[in-house]
Amino acid sequence: MAIFNAKDITLFFGAEMLFGNVTFEIEKNDRIGLVGVNGCGKTTLFKAMRGDADYDAGEFVKSKDAVLGYMEQHVVRESSVSVYDEALSVFEPLMRLEAELNDLNAEIAEGHPTPGQLEKQMLLREKFEAEGGLTYRTRAMSSLLGLGFSPEEQEKPVSVLSGGEKAKVQLAKLLLSGANLLLLDEPTNHLDIAALTWLEKFLLDYRGAYIIISHDRYFLDAVTTRTFELENKRLTAYKGGYSAYRKKKEEDLEIAWKHYENQLEEINRIKGIIEQQKRFNQERNYITIASKEKQIERLEADLVKPQTLPKKLRFAFRCTDPVTDEIMTAKNLKMSFDGETVFSNVNLEVRKKERVFLLGTNGSGKTTLFKILMKQLAPETGNVTYGAGVKVGYYDQLMTGLTDSKTVMDEIWDAYPKMDQTGVRTALGSFLFSGEDVFKKIGVLSGGEKARVALLKLMLSGCNLLLLDEPTNHLDINSREALENALADYGGTIFIISHDRYLINKIATRLYKLSPNGAECINGGYDDFLAVSGDETTLTAAKAKEQPAGDSINKQDYNRRKQMQSDIRKLTTKVARAEARIAELEAAIAAANSALTDPDNAADYEKISQISENLSALQSELDTTTDEWLTASETLESLRSE
């Protein structure tokens, strides 16, 4: 049964149509993901559904039982009440009922209650219990705990919270509100992995419908069974979560292009017949010509050129190899603020061409650790060393390296003054800045646009070690996928802070889990981290992800993809290790050849013989390792292209 309908909704932004003829139905238990590039109108559609934005045509029809709850993408609220009391505020009617019941109980306790008082007490108690009065405080506390607020933190005033923490409080209120249709606009922003998995479990258990705007593909796969795509000013509905939608879209697009090409071929064939008939120049031929021309008109009337995919960022990170395999080492790092230890006994090792991720809860000190690695902060104890020839590039999630008063073009040109104007414009064009966009001030750009400028500056630096702090924040899905592909092909070494589990699974070779007592090393990607962590909430959400509701992704397909991801991670590690060993062997062979031609060794037969034997063994190992590298590289390339 549908609880909400949209019928031919059209909305203009000024003179330009944002989207048109949008039609869909939402059933009472639907789990829907709403995807599309930044700026396509997803948030505006949510506001129109709530009645907070005017639309130009069509209508929304809401069932009498539908109760909408809305979580905005950006929240700013100042309040002196505690986090716990703010969450409880959604139960104000229930709290008033409780106060009335308590007053009545007190009157009855004084003695000689009237029959009317006793009957009223019974009715109030039944209503209070039926509406969840016995559990609402526990539910509020549980929701806050699940989102990372300790009992002590629940007593903090809302006014002292960060933007991310305020968003969590709003999310808690929304989830407690009793709405049966949730509109969630980027609910995973600012959440760490523990809170993400709690949210996934909550939504999987939620008895109602929801639509989620999100760029978190792992999250969408876990909690959605339908996908709405807003693209090219129209909405298309697909069965399944994000991965199923992408597969179906690619299949549909391929079929559409084949149909389009077949129609063009048929039109050209008929035109050839018409030309042939004209050459015969007989009366009956003109009858055939007229018939064929009408046939072409019908075909051309039905001829629709399939849509092309949105432009994607074209990243191309280039760098020179350092002269060592030991890229970065950190030993016994400790950091404290105001006498409180953030972390201690942190030991890290990053080797050439690895893709290492740093995980940890919000507040665990991940960004602080990166600033220590960048020598922007001095650790309380310990030290950081880099290998010879290592050039470090840093992507700061706050993008503090950008200057608001500069234009986009000047931001790049000032950083790389040796580039000519054509080179700067070409580089900006590859990051979707064209025409007058290059003259926009940095200060007026959206978060995603600023991220593109910052990433372009990093791309042009030629660094061979990238420290990336939440690089996929602010990027839409197409931009995230382009970045992933570039990082997978990048020839240098990467150390990344990220909550993007899809990204982690795709390119990680190792993980470090940061805690107050150190950094635990885990080989593999996010699924390997789940297996090692043993966290009950995380594993429950992961299990639910493996068997999503409905028919979004069948188990066999999911297992195949999971195995492919595991194979890609293993092969990436194998290729990196083989490349490192090849470099070592080539250096050893060069040294052995040098020793053979050294005049000082010419008269020492035994030494020459030993060097020759060693050289033969090194060459044999080099041949074997090169063959292994070639096989692994070819297999890896084949898997990545699927």
Whether residue 373 contacts residue 399, with contact meaning beta carbons closer than 8 Å, is answered with no
Question: What pLDDT, in 10s, does the model give residues 309-366?
Answer: 666 666 567 788 887 899 999 999 999 998 889 999 999 999 999 999 999 887 889 9
pLDDT for 290-313, tens place per residue? 878 888 888 888 887 887 666 666
β-bridge mates for residue 497, sequence order:
358, 469
Please say whether the beta carbons of 550 and 225 come within 8 A.
yes
Q: Given a cut of 80, is residue 241 above it in pLDDT? A: yes
Cβ atoms 22, 30 nearer than 8 A: no
At 454, which amino acid appears?
Answer: A
Q: Pairing state of beta strands 493-497 and 31-35?
A: unpaired
Give me the residue spans of the domains in the chain: 83-176, 326-553, 569-641
Higher-pLDDT residue of 196 and 562 is 196
Instruction: Note whether 208 and 31 are within 8 A (CB).
Output: no
**Confidence class for position 373, pLDDT limits 50, 70, 90:** very high
Pairwise CA distance, residues 400 & 414, whole Å: 16
500, 480 Cβ separation under 8 angstroms: yes
Q: How far is CA 389 from the centre of its chain?
A: 32
- Kindly state the helix (H) or strand (E) to which residue 467 belongs, with its residue range: strand 465-469
Q: Region 202-209: what's the mean pLDDT? A: 87
Most confident option among 263-267, 386-390, 568-572, 616-620: 386-390
Tokens at 351, concatenated? 């080797």
Q: Domain spanning 326-553 has what CATH number?
A: 3.40.50.300
Query: Residue 539: pLDDT above 70?
Result: no
Which among 504, 509, 482 has a CA at the least distance from the CA of 636?
509
> What is the residue type of 105?
N
Rounded Cα distance between 202 and 143, Å, is 9
Res. 545: pLDDT tops 60: no
Q: What pLDDT does 376 receive? A: 92
* Residues 400 and 457 sit within 8 Å (Cβ to Cβ): no
User: According to the model, what pLDDT value does residue 18 have?
Assistant: 94
- pLDDT confidence of residue 223: 94
Q: Mapping DSSP to helix (H, G, I), strand (E, B) and coil, where does residue 256 land?
A: helix
Mean pLDDT of 216-236: 94
To the nearest 10°, the Cα dihedral for 309, 310, 311, 317? -80
Cα–Cα distances (Å) from 224 to 354, 555, 570, in that order, read: 33, 15, 29
The two structure tokens encoding residue 559: 């297992």
pLDDT at 596 over 70: yes
Task: Give CA–CA dist 458/471, Å, rounded.
Answer: 11
What number of residues does the chain have?
Answer: 642
Structural contact between residues 69 and 177, judged by C-beta atoms closer than 8 angstroms: yes
Q: In this structure, what are the phi and psi dihedrals at residue 272, rounded to the nearest 5 degrees? A: -65, -40
**Which of 167-171, 290-294, 410-414, 589-593 has the highest average model confidence (pLDDT)?**
410-414
- Per the listing, tokens 């001829």 go with 303
What's the DSSP call for residue 419? S
What band does 78 get if pLDDT is binned at 50, 70 and 90?
A: low
Angle between helices 163-176 and 136-146 (to 10 degrees): 140
The pLDDT of residue 283:
60
CA neighbor of 596 nearest in space, from 585, 582, 610: 610
549 pLDDT band, cuts 50/70/90, is: very low
pTM above threshold 0.85: no
How crowded is the C-beta side of 367, counted as CA atoms within 13 Å? 11
DSSP code of residue 239: E
User: Residue 569 has what pLDDT?
Assistant: 75
Q: Taking CA 425 as the corner, what is the angle to CA 422 and CA 426, rounded to the nearest 5 degrees?
A: 85
Of 335, 337, 360, 359, nearest to 345 by C-alpha is: 335
pLDDT at 601 over 80: no
Tokens of 15: 């003179």
Angle, in degrees to the nearest 10, between helices 421-430 and 447-459: 130
On the 0-12 / 13-18 / 19+ scale of CB atoms within 10 A, 4 is: buried
Q: Is the pLDDT at 566 greater than 60, yes or no? A: yes
pLDDT at 536 over 60: no
Residue with tokens 């905005």: 72
Q: What is the pLDDT of residues 31-48, one digit of tens each?
A: 999 999 888 999 999 999
What is the predicted pLDDT for the residue at 551?
43
